[in-house]
């Protein structure tokens, strides 16, 4: 046995499975550029029609209704005792939902945990979806 | 009572408390720029002498030993049922630990969960530390 018992390797997930895992958790982290610096905020989300819908303070992630921004979105469920779990990273284009009716409908679906100005509804259209699960490293070796 | 029972507000944490919380968890998410796009990866970390030490595949986060990169680092412990918890976001400068003795010492302190090439030791020197806890929104109103 050449592997320590808690060593892990990454098994990549199909996109459909990664998006299913993402849809099954209530929050993740939006990764964006702000004042030319990398920025990150935990937010809650829903996955709807293949897109990730979040709410944000206006101007935080996407400048205004006419602009779009390339962002990343990450969610995970990791168990640091067992060293098992999964992580999904989506890179995509974030746009403000401009249509008032659509924005109102989506607002009801993504109620922020935090009281305050989270009045901008943002939709992230995934372009690259990377998901992995941690599996025991020795599983790749077959039976001992 | 104008607040719903599970509404929350953010209470900002002092930097020392934020760094203490960060040091108390084994992993977070490194946020960086890769091929001019926002990128994020879950990694494990230790906090040492006020800096965050992680390991990475060489070239992933910081180009080589001569360069440095502005990154963000995020960790949280959030309970989506109770809507309570905390999050810490650090913005800082990431550099490769070039001294072989120091790199070897730090490597032993940050053993990656995943088998493979995580041979670059990176130290992030915090410049901006933002931490918050979620607290019940009605707590700001005083007794009913």
CATH of residue A121's domain is 2.30.110.10
The confidence score (pLDDT) of residue A144 equals: 45
Asked whether residue B142 is domain-assigned, the answer is no
Listed by number, the residues of chain A in 90-109 with a beta carbon closer than 8 Å to a beta carbon of chain B are 91
Per the model's pLDDT, the better-predicted residue between B4 and B35 turns out to be B35
- Residue B29 resides in a domain: yes
Top mean-pLDDT range of B67-71, B86-90, B132-136: B86-90
Cβ contacts below 8 Å, chain A against chain B, sum to 99
Euclidean distance between CA atoms A62 and B125, whole angstroms = 28
Least confident piece of the model among A37-46, A126-135, B60-69, B120-129: B60-69
Q: Which domain holds residue B85?
A: 15-135
Q: How many residues does chain B have?
A: 144
Local structure of residue A113 (DSSP, 8 states): S
Q: Which residues 35-74 on chain A approach chain B with CB closer than 8 angstroms?
A: 37-42, 44, 70-72, 74
What domain count does chain A have?
1
A3 domain residue, yes or no: no
How close are the terminal C-alpha atoms of chain B, in Å? 7
Examine residue A143 and state whether it is found in any structural domain, yes or no. no
Predicted local confidence at residue A4, as pLDDT: 64
Residue B2 has pLDDT above 50, yes or no: no
Select from B10, B33, B76 the Cβ nearest to the Cβ of A114. B10
Please say whether the beta carbons of B69 and B96 come within 8 A: no
What is the band of B33 on the pLDDT scale with cuts at 50, 70, 90?
A: very high
Q: How far apart are CA B86 and CA B27, in angstroms?
A: 14
Confidence (pLDDT) at A59: 86
Counting as low any pLDDT under 70, the low residues of chain A are 1-4, 65, 139-144
Is A46 domain-assigned? Answer: yes
Helix (H) or strand (E) holding A104: helix A100-109
* Residue B141 pLDDT greater than 80, yes or no: no
- Number of residues in chain A: 144
Predicted pLDDT at B114: 85
C-beta of residue A67 within 8 angstroms of C-beta of residue A86: no
B109 pLDDT above the threshold of 70: yes
pLDDT for residue A26 = 95
User: Can you read off the two tokens belonging to residue A27?
Assistant: 């929050």
Q: Is B141 contained in some domain?
A: no
Whole-angstrom Cα distance, residue A27 to residue B77?
12
The answer to whether the Cβ–Cβ distance between B134 and A116 falls below 8 Å is: no
* Interface predicted TM-score (ipTM) of this complex, two decimals: 0.90
B17: part of which helix (H) or strand (E)? Answer: helix B15-23
In this structure, is residue B8 part of a structural domain?
Answer: no
Sign of CA dihedral B122, B124, B130, B135: positive
**Is residue B144 a part of any domain in this protein?**
no
- Cβ distance B38 to A37 less than 8 Å, yes or no, reads no
């Amino acid at each position: 046995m050449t592997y320590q018992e808690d060593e892990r390797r990454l098994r990549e997930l199909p996109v459909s499975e990664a998006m299913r895992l993402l849809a099954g958790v209530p929050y993740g982290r939006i990764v964006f550029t702000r004042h030319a610096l990398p920025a990150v905020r935990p937010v809650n989300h829903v996955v709807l029609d293949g897109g990730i819908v979040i709410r944000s303070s206006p101007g935080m992630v996407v400048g205004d209704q006419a602009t779009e921004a390339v962002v990343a979105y990450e969610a995970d469920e990791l168990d640091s005792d067992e060293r098992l779990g999964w992580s999904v990273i989506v890179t995509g284009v974030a746009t403000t939902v401009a249509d008032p009716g659509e924005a109102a409908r989506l607002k009801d679906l993504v109620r922020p945990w935090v009281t305050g100005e989270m009045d901008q509804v943002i939709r992230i259209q995934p372009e690259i979806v990377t998901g992995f699960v941690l599996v025991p490293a020795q599983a790749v070796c077959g039976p001992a």
